[in-house]
Amino acid sequence: MKIVTFNCNSVRSRLEAVLRWLSEHSPDILCLQETKVQDAEFPAAAFADAGWHVVFKGEKSYNGVAIVSKQPADEVSFGLDTDPKDEPRLAHARFGRVHVLNTYVPQGRDIEHPMYAYKLEWFARFKRYVTKRFEPSEPVLWCGDLNVARHPIDVSSPETKKNHVCYHQAVRDAFEEVLAFGFTDLFRHHNPGREDYSFYDYRAPFDPERKRGWRIDYILATAPLAKKSVAAAIDIAPRTRPKPSDHCPLVAEIEA
DNA sequence: ATGGTCGGCAACCGA
């Protein structure tokens, strides 16, 4: 099966691009983040008309997650266990035995800002959520915009970003602590040493060779799925078309 | 060190 994660930066603004991408690549599951739309205004009919199932939780202007799929989900829920549950940041869907977790992790704003402490605690709360529900021997996929670059190879000019909320040591440690549950980083597993990024800041200077970016979008799999994973790649093609998101789709292929 | 550009939504906030 093919699974994809994509921070679309507004599902309404990017609707045509998303539907075209779905049509061309035919994934089994697509996780979207930053849909930026209330549920009543979500373009559900456009997905249904194109033959897709979709579940979503959003709010006005900010955040919002959705899971698009070929087959309908067998079970769906939103949010963490404790307040604030952040429902527009966490979607869970089960497809048969496979659990999909789609997260949009808080960005953090600045390492001095209360939102950064909130972000660090968010990772800890998410680990409790995962540990409470699942065993590492079960098939679980954790996808999304995690707003953290793991290693120096995952960001351009890492030495200048030590105090950035997406690369500061504390957030990298918080991320590793969740990975220790038993998640494999599928992109890095299949592409050791490869310097691809999934996010390019709109505010960065014109960068046609895409040398200035971050790898902050992930597909993470527990052992039974990681063993069957055959490929993972970042698709930069959408960035070469009009009105690109600041993120790129990340695709993973898993056998059976 | 700073600022750069988007999207949503109607003045700026968040990234």
**Could you list the protein residues whose CB lies below 7 A from any atom in strand B?**
A 9-10, 12-13, 36-38, 60-62, 106-107, 109, 115, 147, 201-205, 243
**The pLDDT value given to residue A208:** 77
> Residue A212 and residue A204: Cα distance in Å, rounded?
8
b/e per residue, A95-126, with b = 16+ CB within 10 A?
A: beebbbbbbbbbbbeebeeeebeebbebbebb
Cβ burial of A242 (10 Å; 0-12, 13-18, 19+) is: exposed
What is the pTM assigned to this prediction? 0.98
What is the spatial distance, in angstroms and rounded to an integer, between the CA atom of A199 and the C1' atom of B1?
23
**Superfamily assignment of A2-254 in CATH?**
Endonuclease/exonuclease/phosphatase (3.60.10.10)
Can you give the residue ranges of every domain in chain A? Answer: 2-254
Q: Please name the amino acid found at residue A197.
A: Y
CA/C1' separation A227–B12 (Å) = 48
**Which residues, in sequence order, are bridge partners of residue A250?**
A5, A234
The owner of tokens 């998410």 is: A126
Residues A25-49: tens digit of each pLDDT: 999 999 999 999 999 999 999 999 9
What pLDDT score does A247 carry? Answer: 97
* A48: Cβ contacts below 8 Å, ≥ 6 apart: A54
What's the CA A117/C1' B1 distance, rounded, in angstroms?
Answer: 24
Instruction: List all residues 6 or more positions away from A237 whose beta carbon is below 8 Å from its beta carbon.
Output: none
CA of A46 to C1' of B8 (A): 20
Residue A103 one-letter amino acid: T
CB burial class (10 A; 0-12, 13-18, 19+) of residue A79? middle
Amino acid at residue number A256: A
Question: Measuring from the CA of residue A41 to each C1', which nucleotide is nearest?
Answer: B8
Q: Does residue A1 carry a pLDDT above 90?
A: yes
Which bases of chain B are under 7 A from a protein CB atom?
Answer: 3-9, 13-15
Distance of A35 CA from B5 C1′ (whole Å) = 19
- pLDDT at residue A243, as a whole number: 94
Our separate counts of H helices and E strands in chain A read 6, 12
Q: Give the Å distances, CA to CA, from A74 to A4, A100, A179, A233, A254.
A: 19, 11, 26, 28, 20
* A67 C-beta neighbours (distance < 10 Å), count: 23
pLDDT in tens, A181-228: 999 999 999 999 999 999 999 998 878 788 899 999 999 999 999 999
